[in-house]
Amino acid sequence: MTITAPAYAKINLSLDIVSKMDDGYHNMRMIMQSISLCDEVTVQCELGSGITVQTDLSYLPGDERNIAAKAAKAFFAHTGIDGYKTRIRIKKNIPVCAGLGGGSTDGACVLRVLDEMFETKLGHDLLKKLGGGIGSDIPFCIAGGTVLAEGKGDILTELSPIPHCYIVICKPPFAFSTPELFRRVKIDKIRARPDTDGIIESLKNGDLNDLSRRMYNVFEDILPKGERDIANIKYALLDQNALGAVMTGTGSAVFGIFENETSATNAYENLKLIYKECFLAETAGKIEIPN
Ligand code: C5P
């Protein structure tokens, strides 16, 4: 049995940190949005045993350290399905260590695909719960769409879908460590916060201009290095007529929002000359999960 499916990247229209939890994790408030940039995930199951992952990036782990393998392991452990050799192949199009949820979306995709393959009909909530045990962004990536994510990223509220628009992404040639960025957070020292409620209102009104103006990511204020590079990408995107530009997740990718295809394509063509890792995408909708 073999199934191939797309695993969509995400961007954070807003990212706020509300408080620190007793277990060291942070209580988040963020708006997540799926975009068309995607990895291609192929899951093959045949009689036998073991889980392997193969990607076209040699430095990504092919064993149980890979999120995709962890997802398959969690699926088989939960369902009790046994006796299969699982081969996962991933064509990586989403840049890694970018804040675009590349690993999380691959893991979520493996859960969705195995649920379909074995007709287990676990449903959205259970898939989300299994995913949440592996990584904080996986619950959102199960169905994607336009969502308010709170808690560790596992308390999800569906929002009015964003008006269709184009996204230009630039990733500088360095990355931030997610645990390190979280360690730098001092809740009472956060100076600027995104207007998450304002964005929810703009989504209701279908007002892309208003939404874009309100985007912000609190991590932008506490970057250990490369702040200037992140700011420069934002200026470059705004200079190319983006309605708004912000870093996604724990970076280091920065995206800009464009209302029409021509301005997005022009911006992409121009920025690609400066940033090697530059991508043009559009918004993507929610995936329906069979119950
Ligand atoms: O869950 P995930 O593996 O994606 O998280 C990576 C790291 O980010 C965690 O080990 C933790 O240090 C930090 N984190 C956090 N609060 C969250 C999510 C992640 O402190 N809500």
Q: 254-267: per-residue pLDDT in tens?
A: 999 999 999 999 99
Q: Which pLDDT does position 183 carry in this prediction?
A: 94
Cα(78)–Cα(119) distance, integer angstroms: 14
Q: Tokens in use for 212?
A: 């874009």
Q: Which pLDDT does position 181 carry in this prediction?
A: 95
Share of the chain above pLDDT 70, in %: 100
Share of the chain above pLDDT 90, in %: 93
- Torsion of Cα atoms, 194 then 280 then 229 then 275, to 10°: 180
Does the beta carbon of 27 sit less than 6 angstroms from any atom of ligand 1? no
Alpha carbon of 149 to those of 18, 56, 179, 289: distances in Å?
12, 31, 19, 18
Residue 137 among the catalytic residues: yes
Confidence of residue 58 (pLDDT cuts 50, 70, 90): confident
Distance 178 CA to ligand 1 centre (A): 7
**For the chain, how many residues are written?**
291
Cα(266)–Cα(269) distance, integer angstroms: 5
CB distance 76 to 82 below 8 Å: yes
Q: 2-38: per-residue pLDDT in tens?
A: 999 999 999 999 999 999 999 999 999 999 999 999 9
CB distance 12 to 141 below 8 Å: no
How confident is the prediction for the chain on average, in pLDDT? 96
| Helical packing angle, 67-79 and 123-132, nearest 10° | 130
Residue 227 predicted with pLDDT over 90: no
For the entire predicted model, the pTM comes to 0.96
Select from 15, 17, 21, 26 the residue to mutate for testing ligand 1; criterion: most ligand atoms less than 8 Å from CB.
26
Does the beta carbon of 79 sit less than 6 angstroms from any atom of ligand 1? no
CB distance 234 to 80 below 8 Å: no
Q: Which pLDDT does position 61 carry in this prediction?
A: 87
Does the beta carbon of 135 sit less than 6 angstroms from any atom of ligand 1? yes
Does the beta carbon of 182 sit less than 6 angstroms from any atom of ligand 1? yes
Does the beta carbon of 152 sit less than 6 angstroms from any atom of ligand 1? yes
Distance 111 CA to ligand 1 centre (A): 20
Q: Which pLDDT does position 225 carry in this prediction?
A: 85
**Number of CB atoms found within 10 A of residue 27's CB:** 16
For residues 216-224, give the mean pLDDT.
Answer: 95
Residue 94 predicted with pLDDT over 90: yes
- Give residues with Cβ within 8 angstroms of 183, minimum separation 6: none
Residue 171 among the catalytic residues: no
For residues 123-150, give the mean pLDDT.
Answer: 97
Residue 63 predicted with pLDDT over 90: no
Q: For strand 84-91 and strand 26-47, is the pairing parallel, antiparallel, or unpaired?
A: antiparallel
Ligand 1: residue whose CA is nearest its atom 12? 179
